[in-house]
Amino acid sequence: MPAEILDGVQIANEIKAEVAAEVKQLTSAGLRPGLAAVLIGNDPGSEVYVRSKVKACDTLGLFSEQIIRPDLRSTTELLGIVQDLNRRDEIDGILVQLPLPKEIDTRRILLAVDPAKDVDGFHPFNVGSLAANHPTLVACTPLGVMEILRRSDIPVEGREAVVVGRSDIVGKPVAMLLTNANATVTVCHSRTRNLAEVCRRADILVAAIGRAAMITPEFVKPGATVIDVGINRVEDAAFVQALFGSDGRRQADLAKKGSTLVGDVHPRVAEFAGAMTPVPGGVGPLTIAMLMSNTVKAAKARRGKEHGVATVR
């Protein structure tokens, strides 16, 4: 029996509807959550991401502001922009779109963001709070992974989970979230021995390694839940053909755009897994939904008391 496909678009829409209702309630109490998106350089992918995040703010009723500086290459100047946003009370969330130009010290910039406004969940204070199981603002993609599991009624407590990838943005925080939810967690990486054997132990397998179709059926225990976080743009027509055969949608995508999105999980895993997320349409849509949710959470924590709003969500 083929795997149940976990619809990230539907789950993201549910979360956005909940956020919109909460934003409406908060705004009527005089507290409109605000997000500032900072875009430095001229990376086309970053421009698309920022536009989509600002559009989501507009749709859900949050205040949003874009700071776009394609020619900025000074760490000091960008620090000044971040510090100004830290001081502005109507800004609850600060999003510095990555990657930054190579001339800019990314670590210094991310450390400069007020942890109370760090809606990306990258600041060491917020990472440390997650590690101590007192989460404040948590990275959006890992939060999205947990929401997919929760809203799909997939139990986590007592299960064995394997995370393939140890990035600060996805692998490490999702491992901490799963640990905090009482799973038994193994984190794998490029130097893990017998990787397929380790992965086959997993009841929940999270693939976040950044290599197209790396996780093949030999990595998957029959009936496991497989969460594919990978987003790899593939241009090789022969590779796409090998993965998807005569799938008309994929071929049309390749013909129109010159590439198609492929996850870290091989499509044939669907023949063995109990449930899995697709790419596109799986974890990706949850990232923006959780960014909106984090902005509301930050607004309530920062300004809720002065507006008579409960800060616990």
Catalytic residues, by residue number, are 53, 97, 120
Planar angle of CA 166, 40, 49, nearest 5 degrees: 60
d(CA 300, CA 280): 32
**Structure tokens belonging to residue 75:** 């760490």
